[in-house]
Structure 1
Amino acid sequence: MAENRTRTVRARSTRTTVRAATATAAAAATLALALPAHAAPFDPAPGADGVGDPLFPTLGNGGYDVRHYDLSFDFTPVTYDFTGTMKIKARATQDLSSFNLDVDSLAIDAIKVNGKKATWAIGPGQSGQELTVTPAGGLRDHRAFDVELTYHGNGKTKPVSQPGWRYMSDGGFASAAQASRADTFAPVNDHPSDKATWSFHLTAPDGWTPGANGNLTGTRDAADAKKTWDFSLKSPMAPELLGISVNKQTYLYGRGPHGVKLRHLVPEDQQAKYKPIAEETGGQLAWLEKTLGVRYPFDTYGVQIVRDGYSDALENQTLSLFGPSWFDKPTYSTTMVHELTHQWFGDSVTPATWQDAWMNEGPAVYYAAVWADQKGFQPIEEKMKTAYAKLDAVRKTDGPPGKPTGLGGFNIYDGAAVSLYALNQQIGQEQFEAVMKSWLGKHRHGNATTQDFIANAVEVTGDASVGTFLNHWLFDLDNPPMPGHPDWGVAK
C-alpha cells in the first residue's frame, strides 16, 4: 500500500509539472502575440530618386508603389492659372525616411503624409525636378501610406524640361504627357513601371468642358460659377498616358462591340465635321478585336479631336488625342487604328522600361499596316520591304529595335513592325496570332519586358529557335535575312 501511495504522489507531481509547463508556454505565446509582428529592425533610408531605367535612369522613384492617384484640378481658361490637390495611396517597398515624386514647375503649398505635416525640398532632376518628401516619422516596409499635396501654378510657365501642355486658341488646353511630362500637371511617380488606378475632379467655369481618362461619373456645382466634373479610371494606368483637358468641346456618345461605352470629345462648333469620323471608332474596335482575338481591355474608349494647338496623335489611355491635320488625309483611319492598337499594346500591356518601347510602337505600326493593306491604302509587303531596307542603317546609328538609344526613332516604330512581320513570316500566320493573343492575355494590365515577349513566343510555339530568331531581329546591329524574301536588301 505504501508503494502504491508513492506512485500516486509521483503521478500527481508529474501532472502538476506538465500543467505548469503548459501554462508557461501559453503565457509565452500570449506575450509573443502582444509583440510587434515585424521581426526585422526598423531601418529607414531615403527612397531612390530613379528606378534605374536603361534609357532614363533617374525617371520615376524607388521605395514605394503607387496604388491610386486622386487628382483635383481647378483650371482658369485664358489665364492658364490652376490649383491642384493630389492624393496618393501608396505602399512602401522598403523602410523609408523620405521619398521622391516627380514635378516640373509646380509651386508646392503643403504636403501631408498619413495626415501629418511633412517637409519637402525641390531639386534638379534629369527630366523636370525632384520633389523630396520627408514625413514626420519614417514609413515601414510593406505598409500602406497616404500622401496629400496641394499646389498651384500656371500652364504657360516654361518648364525645366519639355512641356506637357498643349494650348488651344479658345484659351483651353489638352495634355500630351508622353514620355515624362505628367509632372507638369501634378506630382507623380513618372515611370511606366508604376501603374495605378486614377480619379479626376476637374473644375472649370460654366461653358467649358473638361475631359479625362476613364468614365465621367458626374458633375457638381463649384464656387465662383464653376462646375466640377468627376471621372474614374478603374484599370491601372502609367502617368505618361494622362489625358486631361479643358476646352470649348462637346461629348459624342455611342456603343462599341459587346457594349463598350464610346465617348468622344470634339470642338463644340465642329460637330458636323467630326461626328462621322468619331463614329468610325466602333468598327475599328470590332476589327481589332477580331484581328487580335482579344477583347478591348477597358470599359470605355474614345477619340479627342482638338481644334488646334496640337499636330500629333497620342494614345492617352481610353481617350486617344488627335490634332486636326490628321483628318485632312484620306488615310486618317490608319492613324486612328494605330492609336487604338496602343490600348492593347502599351496601355494594357505596358513596358517595364523605356528600352522596351518597341513593344508599344511595333504592334501599333504593324496592325495599322494590316488595316491599310485591307483597305487598299498600301500593300503591307510594300511597306515592310521599304522599312527593311532603311532599318539596317538605323540599327547602327540609333540602335536596334530592342535596344534603342532614345525614343521616337524609326527603329522602335517601323523597325519593330518589320521585326514582327519577320516573325510572322518565320512561324506562319496561325502561330503568330497565337503568340500575340497569349502575350495580351498573360500581361493584361501589367508590365513586361522584351525578354518576357521572347519567352512567350518560345512557349507558345514550342520552338527554342524562335528565341534565337527574335534575339537577332531585336538586338543585332545588322538586318537578319527576311524569311520568304531572299531578294530583300538594304538601302545603299
Structure 2
Amino acid sequence: MALSRSARLAAVTLAAASFCLVAAAPAPTPGSDGVGDPYFPQLGNGGYDVRHYGLDIAYDPDTDRLDGRTTITARATQNLSSFDLDLQKLTVTRIEVNGRRAPFTRTGDEIRITPRDALGKNKNFTVAVTYGGVPEPLSGPIVFGSDYGWMKTPDGVFVACEPNAASTWFPSSDHPSDKAPFDIRIKAPKGLTSVSNGRLVGTYDKDGQTVAHWRSTKPMATYLATATIGKFDVRTGTTPGGTPIYVAMDPVLPPSTVDVYGITAEVTDYWSEVFGPYPFEETGAIVDDMPQAGFSLETQTKPIYSAVRSENTIVHELAHQWFGDSVTPASWRDIWLNEGFATYGPWLWGEHKGRATAHDAFRAAYDARPADSAFWQITVGDPQRDTMFSSAVYQRGAMTLQVLRERIGDKDFFKLLKTWVKQHRYGNASTADFIRLAEHISGEQLDGLFQTWLFTKGKPALPTR
C-alpha cells in the first residue's frame, strides 16, 4: 500500500527524532577520583555505587605480608569509560572487569581502571583486583596522634581503620557514603583466630592454614571493616534478648573487673529498647593486646578494644552500632553524629543505672572547661580534618543532645532518636537531616539551638530550664 505524502513526512520526522534521541545519549566518560568530601576530597570514587565486597586475604605474621584478591560488584551511575579504586601502597598485579583482564594506571593512592568495553549507566559490573605487599599503618594528628589501620601485634594484627585506612589493606571506594555488604575470607596460620564483621559462616584447614569466612549481610562503610588476627579465647551465645553474640579475648591480657561478654549483652539489649531494634546479625567484641593503639573502634558488629576494658567504653562503642554504623554520616564533617551520640550513650546508661542523670553529666562536662579553654574554639558541626576527633566533638556533641532533650522534652527526644535510626537505617545522613527531623517531631524552630551549640565558637550560656 502506498503511503500518503503526510504519512511519509510523519515517518521521516519520527525517524529523525529517534536518531536524535540516540545521538543525544552521553558518551562514556571517566568516573571521578573522589566523592569530594571536604576533609578527604579523593576518598571514594565517582561513577558507580558498590553493591558488594568479596575479600579473600592471606596473612603471614612472620613476614607481615598480605596477599589478597578483592572482588567488587558495583552499579554504574553514568556511562563509564574508566573508573578508580582507592588502594594505598600495596602492589597490584592483575585487574579484571567482568572477567576480562583490564589495563590500569596508578597515581598515588588512586588506581584508574579502563575496561575493554564501556560500562553502561545503571548496569552492574564486577572488578577483581589481585594485590599484595606489607600493609603500612597510617599516622598523623587525625586519630589522637596514634597509628591506625593495619597494625602488627605480637601474634597477628589489629585492624581499626577510621577514617581513611581501609584502603591500606583492600582496594575499595573508601568513603562512608558508599556502603555495601561484605564477605571476608581470611587465611592465617593454623592456631590463630581470624575475626571480622557479621557472622562466621565457617572455617576450614588446609596445608597448615585456617580459612575463616565472615559475612556481613547489612551495608557497611569501609572504615568499619576489620580482619583482626591473633590468639583469642572465644565465647559465643545469645544476649537475653536473643541477639547472637561473639566475644574474642586475647588470653595474655591480665584479668579485669569488667565482664566484656556480660556488659556487651546487657548494653546491646538496653540500646535495643532505647534506640530501636539492634540493626545487625550479631553483637560482640574483640579485645586485643595492643596498648599502643590508644583507642577503641566501633567496627561493625564487633567493636575492637585495644586492651582498654571499661564499662563506659563498651557502652560508647555499642551505641555506635546505631549511630555511625547503621546510620552513617554523609560526609566526615558530620562526625559529631557519630561521636556526640556515642558519648551521650554513657550519660544515658548512667541515668539508667541510677548513678547520675544525663543532666548531671552534662553539667560536669560543661563546668570542667573554663570559657577561655581551646575546647570551646572547635566548631563541632564542622570541626576540620585534623581536629575531627577532638574531645570537643565528643563532649560538646553530647551536650548538644542534652540541651535539645531539655528543650523539647523526653517524649519527643526519645521519639526523635528512634525515628532517626529507623528513617536512615543502613544509610547515610547529615546534620541538616537531623535538625529537620528534630524540628518536625518537636514542632519547634531549633535553628538557634543548633547554631549555638554546634556552629558557634565560645562557651555558650546555659539554657534556662
1:145 lines up with 2:145 in the alignment: no
Say whether the 8 Å CA contact 1:457–1:467 is kept in structure 2: no
Match runs of 1:94-109 below 5 Å:
94-109=78-93
RMSD: 2.9
The one-letter code sitting in structure 2 at the alignment partner of 1:186 is F
2:201 to 213, 217, 221: 217
1:424 is the counterpart of 2:441: no
- Distance in 2 between the 1:444 and 1:459 partners? 18
Partner in structure 1 of residue 462 of structure 2: 482
CA contact (8 A) 1:395 1:401 kept: no
Which of 366, 375, 388 in structure 2 is aligned with 1:388? 366
TM-score, length-scaled by structure 2: 0.89
Distance 2:339 2:252 in 1: 33
Matched, 1:166 2:151: yes
- Partner secondary structure for residue 457 of structure 2: coil
Distance across 2 between alignment mates of 1:460 and 1:277? 36
| Cα distance in structure 2, aligned partners of 1:181 and 1:417 | 26
Residue aligning to 1:455: 436
**Shift of residue 372 of structure 1?**
3.0
**How far 1:158 sits from its partner (Å)?**
6.6
Greater Rg, structure 1 or structure 2?
Answer: 1
Q: Cα distance 1:429–1:393, how it changes in 2: closer, same or farther (>3 A)?
A: farther
CA distance in 1, matches of 2:253, 2:313: 20
The 3 A distance-change label for structure 1 pair 276 and 404 is closer
Equivalents in 2 of 1:285, 1:351: separation in Å?
22
1:208 deviates by 1.1
Q: Where does residue 331 of structure 2 map in the other structure?
A: 353
1:292-335 C-alpha deviation (Å, 9 max, x unpaired): 3x1111120101000235331110000100111x23xxxx1111
Paired residues, what number? 450
Q: Which residue of 1 aligns with 2:143?
A: none
2:320 aligned with 1:335, yes or no?
Answer: no
- Deviation of 1:160 after TM superposition, in Å, equals 9.3
**Change over 3 Å in CA distance of 1:108–1:391 after alignment to 2:** farther
Q: Which runs of 5+ in 2 are unaligned?
A: 141-146
Q: Quick check: 1:181 aligned with 2:165? A: yes
5 Å-filtered alignment, 1:234-383, equals 234-268=217-251, 276-292=259-275, 294-309=276-291, 310-324=293-307, 326-327=308-309, 332-375=310-353, 380-383=358-361
**Secondary structure, in 3 states, of the residue corresponding to 2:241?**
helix
Aligned to 2:107: 123
Measured in 2, the distance between the counterparts of 1:258 and 1:65 equals 35
Q: Deviation digits for residues 407-439 of structure 1, max 9, x if unmatched?
A: 111232101101101101111111111111111
Alignment of 1:197-236 (within 5 A): 197-222=181-206, 224-236=207-219
Identity %: 35
Question: Does 1:446 find its partner at 2:424?
Answer: no
SS in structure 2 of the partner of residue 87 of structure 1 = strand
Change (3 A) 1:160 1:469: closer
Q: Is the 8 A contact 2:179 2:219 kept in 1?
A: yes
Superposition deviation, residue 38 in structure 1: 7.3
**2:144 paired residue number:** none
Q: Residue 89 of structure 1 aligns with which residue?
A: 73
Secondary structure at the aligned position of 1:252 is classed as strand
**Gap runs ≥5 in structure 1:** 1-12, 486-492
Q: Contact between 1:105 and 1:160, CA under 8 Å: does it hold in 2?
A: no
> Deviation string for 1:459-487 (max 9, x for gaps)?
11122x124422332222244433236xx
Equivalent-residue separation in structure 2 for 1:38 and 1:238 (angstroms): 38
Partners of 1:214 and 1:232 within 8 A in 2: yes
Q: 1:98 to 1:278 in 2, by over 3 A?
A: same
SS at match of 1:314: coil
